[in-house]
Structure 1
């Protein structure tokens, strides 16, 4: 049963977390283009699509820790330090995504849609989307991606593993 849980856990991680990391990483550049570009309606639609991908796959990503706990339990490694660190980092990544990245993307879309007004400042794009806002979102997405990369490394290396890997 452990092998089945492990397969499902890895598949869920690849299928759910992969699209969030890619779409999340693409979002700031797409938002920057939408704020400045002449083909603004198409660019804004692309930004909305990337945000929707992040939202949907973040929800699907809830399966990753559920299957991870099932896998760890069936393998008898729930108390392992590397797993506890991985759980903490996964929780941190989830919080960054849910509390900072997704709301930041939603705010950027609202600004692109004209919820804010353009004050003519050189650092402000169309409808009030600020360059600093895009940079902050890029940084937060990078932090999310770095947390997941660290968890992935811990899952592969597993200090004290008997596999020799």
Structure 2
């Protein structure tokens, strides 16, 4: 006997695709710095256990730095470090930008800009008189460059076809068409 779970038939919407936070690269830098610190600590531990000869690196670095006394330079460095920490905190807590275009009845499906461009190019290529088409897409604009047989009405037909194809998106982007005859070259 098989049992069907009613919850399994519920539609679960996907999360929207998001860009990385402004501080995502900080994780890599901190990982490298922590690995370097681990190497220094391992070296100093081996020196203190008399496995390695010589002087430990932390004491050598402290001796080279000398005595640090409070003064204007220390206050400036402290202020800059505090400002950097505040900027990183704001960057980490800022909401990430949405990367994709929501499909109207797609149950939470999104198309990335490259997919919107592919959809627009495919629609443009199906228009009579279009020899080839390429597209660039941003969040609010789709620009189609169509190589045509030279008919003046082709640009309007391409624009209509691309708008129809992009009507599946919740927010239809602005469509711009650049049509040129097949033997012309762009400069």
Q: Could you tell me the TM-score, scaled by structure 1's length? A: 0.29
Choose between structure 1 and 2: higher helix proportion.
Answer: 1
Higher strand share: 2
